[in-house]
């Protein structure tokens, strides 16, 4: 997530009421979580387990809850609650803005694009040419939709990330400052939900097609020309490469990679990264040939047990 302009460490510390440790004149370009952090970004860490990884990341500024030695090129901001400080920054620059119209005046809508009655288009949304947005679709603020996109009734683009931390017996929400980006020639079925990124973008690649009732979690990247079957549930921070086919009721765990050209058969569950060019089945999913071989062995098992007992 980019700031609207460069911010100095001094300015950031004042916004979050933190104490800078180091050069207060260092400028930051934006803020991001660790898995997408860039040089020039602000990130945060609030657990000793992750201190070393975050302090040696590409981030230029780290909000931290303990005074430690900063690696060369890093500036620290001390804060009792880095998680809360990060939320303050997100809300400062991507705060919720209520709408009083179905189509925001700040939305940019391309030529020959049809917005059906009852659809909601939020603030700063960009929609390309030759699109059809059916009734009861909600496109949340800052979402980007390319050309030749069809979104069917009841779908939601850019809902908040499902991201919480448990603190003092309660769940604290990590506010979402990222976007949902739908590239050209995508079709999204009815009653789907594409969540926005927390600080980066959730991306649906060019030519990908969704059936109805699909869920895509925050910061997930789906490649080009993929097919996603009905009731697929794809968790956050997952990467699905090009030409992947995911059939109905597939569940995919967070933070994994589905290789190019993989095919996941219906009702399967993926709990770890899988190679491309292979068909998978089962829960947890394995290569389909192994799955059917195991099923044959399972069917033979009662006869095998009976024969052993008869001996």
Question: 5 an active-site residue?
Answer: no
Q: Are 296 and 279 in contact (CB under 8 A)?
A: no
SS3 content of the chain, % helix, strand, coil (to 5): 15, 30, 50
Tell the residue number behind the tokens 């609207």, with chain if given: 4
Q: Are 150 and 169 in contact (CB under 8 A)?
A: no
Q: Which of 134, 152, 175, 218 is catalytic?
A: 218
H/E element, 172: strand 170-173
The closest of 271, 80, 71, 260 to 167, measured between CA atoms, is: 80
Q: Are 155 and 149 in contact (CB under 8 A)?
A: no
Enumerate the β-bridge partners of residue 45: 64
The C-alpha atoms of residue 96 and residue 99 are separated, in whole angstroms, by: 10
Catalytic residue ranges: 218
């Amino acid at each position: 997530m980019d700031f609207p302009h460069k911010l100095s460490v001094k300015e950031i510390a004042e916004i979050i009421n933190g104490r800078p440790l180091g050069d207060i004149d260092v400028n930051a370009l934006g803020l991001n979580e660790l898995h997408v952090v860039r040089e020039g970004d602000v990130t945060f860490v609030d657990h000793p387990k992750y201190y070393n990884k975050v302090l040696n990341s590409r981030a230029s500024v780290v909000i931290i809850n303990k005074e430690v030695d900063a690696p060369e090129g890093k500036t620290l901001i001390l804060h009792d609650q880095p998680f809360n400080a990060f939320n303050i920054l997100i809300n400062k620059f991507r705060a919720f803005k209520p709408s009083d119209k179905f189509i925001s005046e700040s939305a940019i809508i391309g030529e020959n694009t049809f917005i059906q009655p009852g659809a909601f288009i939020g603030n700063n949304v960009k929609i390309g040419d030759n699109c059809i947005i059916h009734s009861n679709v909600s496109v949340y603020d800052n979402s980007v939709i390319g050309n030749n996109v069809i979104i069917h009734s009841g779908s939601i683009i850019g809902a908040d990330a499902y991201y919480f931390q448990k603190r003092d017996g309660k769940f604290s929400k990590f506010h979402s400052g990222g976007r949902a980006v739908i590239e050209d020639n995508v079709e999204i079925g009815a009653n789907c939900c594409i969540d926005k990124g927390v600080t980066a973008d959730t991306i649906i690649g060019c030519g990908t097609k969704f059936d109805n009732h699909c869920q895509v979690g925050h910061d997930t990247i789906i490649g080009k020309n993929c097919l996603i079957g009905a009731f697929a549930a794809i968790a956050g921070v997952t990467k699905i490469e090009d030409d992947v086919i995911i059939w109905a009721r597939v569940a995919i765990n967070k933070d994994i990679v589905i290789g190019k050209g993989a095919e996941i058969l219906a009702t399967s569950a993926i709990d770890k990264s899988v190679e491309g060019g292979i068909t998978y089945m089962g829960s947890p999913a394995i290569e389909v040939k192994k799955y059917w071989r195991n099923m044959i062995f399972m069917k033979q098992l009662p006869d095998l047990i009976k024969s052993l007992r008869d001996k």
